[in-house]
Structure formats: structure tokens, C-alpha cells
Amino acid sequence: MDKAQQDALKKAAGIEAAKIVKNGMMVGLGTGSTVRFLVDELGRRVKEEGLSFTGVTTSRRTQEQAEGYGIKILDINEVDHIDVTIDGSDEVDKNFNGIKGGGAALLWEKIVAINSDRIVWIVDASKVVDTIGKFPLPVEVIPFGSAQVIRKFEKRGYKPVLRLDADGKEVRTDENNFVVDLHMERIEHPQELAKDLIETVGVVEHGLFLNMVDTVIVGDPNGPRTLTNPNK
């Protein structure tokens, strides 16, 4: 699939997911290129249909985009509930285990997600996989002592790579942390890996989102299709 095709499928998933948002809702807005299409469509509905809802965002980028459309955004500390969060994902398997954090927003994304009544992911068809792990697993790490954390990951065979930007500088998250990507290729035991990562001092959060998502809207060449998690 080339990028133009992939973008078309992302856009279709985003437009489909925008239908979930109703007047008066509190909506978590994820991060990434698929979510950009979602927010564009929500912005259109605000303008053309008078849709009125409040958002909580998972990154400064999404906040800027949403506010540009006149969507009211609240700080997560100010809200008492979130009806639904719609976010992208880098991979998702048949057990509804996924990898997130390709856009370095995994920490805020997970905080918003776990405080949401319902979680919806929007993906193009290439992201639905048998086994997660081909997409490098992002781990958010405190800069202090990060080289020690990377050494530990190397010893455990996780194949860590510190994420750098185009200028060769460490990528910083919205919390000013680093991102280390684990090139594991196949993650056969995600629960065990998640436990090991979160128990490593210096790790703030990892991009394994295990059995958290309720609904996945897949942009498919035949039109968007919806996968429903039976275990939720």
C-alpha cells in the first residue's frame, strides 16, 4: 500500500469515527495523522452542522488543531469524565492488544484512555496484524540515567534505539522525556513484557495498550469496518 492509499484509508476511518461524537459529549482526542483527519471532520461538523462538544487532548499538537476549529479544550484535571476517546494506533492484533506511541504521545494517550468510558481506535488496514512487534515499541524514559535504561534493555534482548529527530537530537515528549523504540519484531508475551518495562526504574510508560480498546474502526479498501472487542 502506498502512502496516498494509506492516507485515504486513514481519512475514511477518521470520518467514520467522527459520527460517534454527539452534542454535549466530553471527547478525548488522540494524536497522529489519522486523528488529524478525525479532527478536520469534527471541525467541519462544528462549522456546518453546529456540533457542540468539549475535548480533552493527548498532545499539544492536537490541542492546537482542535482549537483552530473553535473546539473547546479542557485540561484533563478539570473534567469529571470522558465519554469516549478516539485515537490512532500503530498496530493492533486479534486480541485487541496494540502498540501506540509512534507520534511520541503515548503517556498522555494512556492517561486519557484509562479515564475514558469508551476507547475507539482508527487505523488503516495495514495496522491490523497477527502478532504485534514489527512496529518498534515506544517506551517513554526519563532523560536522567536513560543510557543505563538502554543498556538494561540491550541485555534483555529488546534491541532499543533512542529516538532522534531529523537533526540528530533526542525527540522530546510533551513531558520533556525521551523515547526509546524497541525493535523486537514479534512480541509473543505482551503482558510479561509490559510488566517488565513498567518495573524498570526510569521508564515512565510504554506503548503496549493491552485489551484496552473497545472498538477499532479499520479503514479498508472496501470501506470502513468496525471490530468490537468481545472481552470488554
Which residues here bind ligand 5RP, judged by CB under 6 A? 30-34, 87-90, 100-106, 109
Number of C-beta neighbours around residue 76 at 10 A? 14
- Distance, CA of 9 to CA of 3 (rounded, Å): 10
Is residue 119 within 8 Å of residue 142, measured between CB atoms? Answer: no
| Identity of the residue, 121 or 153, whose beta carbon is nearer to ligand 5RP in the bound complex | 121
219 is annotated as contributing to ligand binding: no
Dihedral sign, Cα of residue 162, residue 164, residue 168, residue 174: negative
Q: Say if residue 52 carries a ligand binding annotation.
A: no
3 state SS of 57:
strand
Tell me how far, at minimum, the Cβ of 23 lies from ligand 5RP, in Å. Answer: 26
- Active-site residue, selected from the candidate residues 16, 41, 109, 140: 109
What is the nearest approach in angstroms of ligand 5RP to the Cβ of residue 33?
3
Length of the chain: 232
One-letter identity of residue 74? L
124 annotated to bind ligand? no
88 marked among binding-site residues: yes
End-to-end CA distance of the chain: 32
Helix (H, G, I), strand (E, B) or coil at 12: helix
d(Cα 24, Cα 54) in Å, to the nearest integer? Answer: 7
Is 175 considered catalytic here? Answer: no
The smaller minimum CB distance to ligand 5RP, of residues 32 and 202, is found at 32
Distance from C-alpha of 195 to C-alpha of 206, rounded to nearest angstrom: 10
Q: How far is the CB of 100 from ligand 5RP (least distance, A)?
A: 4
Identify which of residues 134 and 152 has a Cβ nearer to ligand 5RP in the complex: 134
Are 13 and 224 a contacting pair, CB within 8 Å?
yes
| 30 in a known ligand binding site | no
Between 6 and 229, CB nearer to ligand 5RP: 6
> Shortest gap between Cβ of 151 and ligand 5RP (angstroms)?
25
Which residues are known catalytic residues? 109
Q: Which amino acids are annotated as binding site for substrate, given as ranges?
A: 31-34, 87-90, 100-103, 127
